[in-house]
Amino acid sequence: MALTGGKADAAPHTPAPRPRLSVEAAGVSEAPLRGVRVAVLNFREPRQSVAGGAEEYAWQVSRYLLAQGATVDFVTSREPGQAASERLDGIALHRMGNRYLVYLLVPLWLLFRRRSFDVVIDSMNGIPFFSPLVVRRRTPVICLVHHVHDRQFYAFFPAWLARIGCFVEGPVARLLYRRCTTVTVSESSRNDLRARLRWLAPIQVVPNGGSAARPVARQAADGDPAVVYLGRLVGHKRVERVIALAADLRERRPGLHVHVVGRGPESEFLAAFAAGSGVADRVHLHGFLSEPEKNAVLGSALLNVTASEFEGWGLTVIEAAAFGVPTVAYDVAGLRDSVRDGVTGWLVREGESLSCTVDRAIGELADPVRRAEIQQACRSWAGEFTWGRTGATITGLITAELTAVDRRRQPASACGSLTRTPDLRLAVGETDPT
């Protein structure tokens, strides 16, 4: 992702008339969102130290909307040393508040600019931005939820604070966003929203995209196997379990090397864990790598391994698959969607251990025919997910929302001419009608 520096005007936009959107125009226009003003609210942005898949999703969608003619303001938190406002990739980026204050300052920012936007994408990373309360009544809000955060609250906060978080994510958000189209990234997340949060709004599954990988020379079949973990170094990712593979498989796979690519608050703990386990010489903590360096490590690995206890999808699973690298992961929500068990990877089932599953996977991949079959399946699977497809679906949802707004604003005499207009939702994918 190329980010270019610059300054953005921090003052509110001057309201301008929004062009009338119609189904016909949206279908044939080269820029179906020309003149549409979009606010994207997200907890973090991709250049921050612990940014992950949710930030990549929001940013890639923002870039796509920009290419469709929209103006995009990306509103997020601010890390020490970051500018309050700048323009990156043509997107006006506004940063404010720390990880807590952002949920107060962003709604206030939006409140004073509520006439400046035609649509809001409100990313609910556990806590929503309450945008339906501050925007104009006719302004569509699309709620973006990657996964249910209830267990994550209890993993990071005291029990009393976690209960408050669950109450806000559940009953409060359920009622506040009940009329807002909701986007999530997997069937598992949609099921969790319905079952665990009793979500009322219609839910559209729009998976993550992926980038086409450049061919990378792979290790020889008889060489020392290498497994890689790619992602944030945070508690619920349980990266220490990946590192422990070097110790657990010491006798069966003495040449096994573990590569960890990513940054986060657990980095020092993981280095100490590797040293304490006596495997520091076979565990390589790379930290943050540039895209070419990361691709070199990922493309030369035999396996991608993630021990996360919950995910919305599994962006790094698809990233690895694009290189023909299969994944071993636990059979949990999100990862069971992005890993096709026995086809593009292996899922650790109840009663199984991560080390035994990894050992079995290495054994299967030792067969050149089986390895080639899995690599091809991985590349084909990854090819089904592109940011262009993700962005196009979100664009369709936005045009459908704005067309519905225009329809409601038409005088009664004009309604008859709109009754035969097809619903754009049918063109962008199946929406959960319940």
What the block records as the tokens of 368 is 């050149």
Write the CATH number of the domain with boundaries 23-209+386-432: 3.40.50.2000
Give CA separation, 90 vs 38, 165, 404, in Å. Answer: 13, 34, 28
Counting Cβ atoms within 10 Å, is residue 2 exposed (0-12), middle (13-18) or buried (19+)? Answer: exposed
Q: Do domains 23-209+386-432 and 226-382 have the same CATH topology?
A: yes
pLDDT in tens, 178-218: 999 999 999 999 999 999 999 999 999 999 998 655 545 45
- pLDDT tens digits along 111-168: 999 999 999 999 998 899 999 999 999 999 999 999 898 877 887 788 899 899 999 9
Q: Which of 164, 140, 129, 134 is nearest to 150 (CA)?
A: 164
Over its C-alpha atoms, the chain yields an Rg (Å, rounded) of 23
pTM (two decimals): 0.79
- Dist. CA 46–CA 54, nearest whole Å: 9
Dihedral sign (CA 381, 123, 168, 77): positive
**Helix (H, G, I), strand (E, B), or coil: what is residue 26?**
helix
Q: Are strands 85-88 and 91-95 parallel, antiparallel or unpaired?
A: antiparallel
CB 111 within 8 A of CB 134: yes
Q: What is the pLDDT of residues 232-263, one digit of tens each?
A: 898 889 999 999 999 999 999 999 999 999 99
Q: Which CATH code of 3.40.50.2000, 3.40.50.410, 2.70.150.10, 3.40.50.620 fits the domain covering 226-382?
A: 3.40.50.2000
Q: Compare 2 and 95 and report the one with higher pLDDT.
A: 95
Domain ranges of the chain: 23-209+386-432, 226-382
Task: Provide the pLDDT for residue 52.
Answer: 83
